[in-house]
Amino acid sequence: MSASELREVEHEITISAPAAAVYRLIADVANWPRIFPPTIYVDHLERSGDEELIRIWATANGEPKNWTSRRVLDPEGLRITFRQQVSTPPVASMGGTWIIEPQDAATSRVRLLHDYTAVDDDPASLKWIDEAVDRNSRSELASLKTNVERATASEELTFSFEDTVEVEGSAKDCYDFVNEAGLWSERLPHVATVRLTEDAPGLQTLEMDTRAKDGSTHTTKSYRVCLEGRKIAYKQTTLPALMNLHTGYWTFTDTDTGCTASSQHTVVLRPENIEKILGPEAGVAEAREYVRSALSTNSRATLGHAKAYAEARR
């Protein structure tokens, strides 16, 4: 391969957190939707020792894409190398390294290296990849800095919860109900309008207007990853004013009597907006309760309708 065909770039940032803490956040891919804005969901396909094969769903230049990547973790050297197994056109090959360097006990320098080629060495494709890598790398490093510093500074702003129903029907029917979100305006009273696109199988963009208890409507947009009848993971990209982050997943598990359907949410609050929305007396505890109640009300409504749908088909 000639040097002209292989592009190599490096981005870096300084973070006010210990190097080992930064390494741990990047090494555990479950953290990625929380710390990297483009990442929608990551799934482990294989794991052995310090090597793993992961599948990543993320946006590139605003378009949802997915790929598999092999990673080698080096906890001693605070390095993680990665190489895409099968890249998505226009990318022909893509790999790189995370290098975390301690500056002092409380500060680290994070370097993100990439090397890549374009399909058929097409100049327009290479330009598209240049822009996507540059934008995503800057965005990833800036948000890594913000989110790592936030994570080490305030645990109370981040919380997760789950709602579950037992269903006397099949997991597949419950999954179908949640997967077919394009029909939600007909099936769910709290959904006013819905726009669902699925450009690649199992990778959806969902925009909808939902009605609150007070009758007002608000628009949300999410990217969703639909996994073979067992799980639908999502990341909300247009957020209400009280949230810095909202990710979640629906899971469906067959049981002896039918199935269990669950809805999980992970939220990071936006503290600077609490007083403006909930009043001068409100704090983090009130914001957590308010957000949990709003999300849970919609989740439980959807789970209830999914249950009715599945039980009617039994």
Q: Which residues contact 154 (CB under 8 A, 6 or more apart)?
A: none
* Ranges in the chain, pLDDT < 70: 1-4, 153
Question: What percent of the chain is modeled with pLDDT above 90?
Answer: 81
Which position has the token pair 């294989």?
46
Which domains, and CATH codes, for the chain? 7-153 (3.30.530.20), 156-312 (3.30.530.20)
- Name the token pair of 283: 């704090």
Predicted TM-score (pTM) of this structure: 0.85
Task: Say if residues 26 and 147 touch (Cβ distance below 8 Å).
Answer: no
pLDDT at 153: 67
Helix (H) or strand (E) holding 279: none
What is the rounded distance in angstroms from the CA atom of residue 176 to the CA atom of residue 300?
17
What is the rounded distance in angstroms from the CA atom of residue 56 to the CA atom of residue 29?
9
Phi, psi dihedral angles at 89 (to 5 degrees): -50, 145
What is the rounded distance in angstroms from the CA atom of residue 57 to the CA atom of residue 63?
11
| Mean pLDDT across the chain | 93
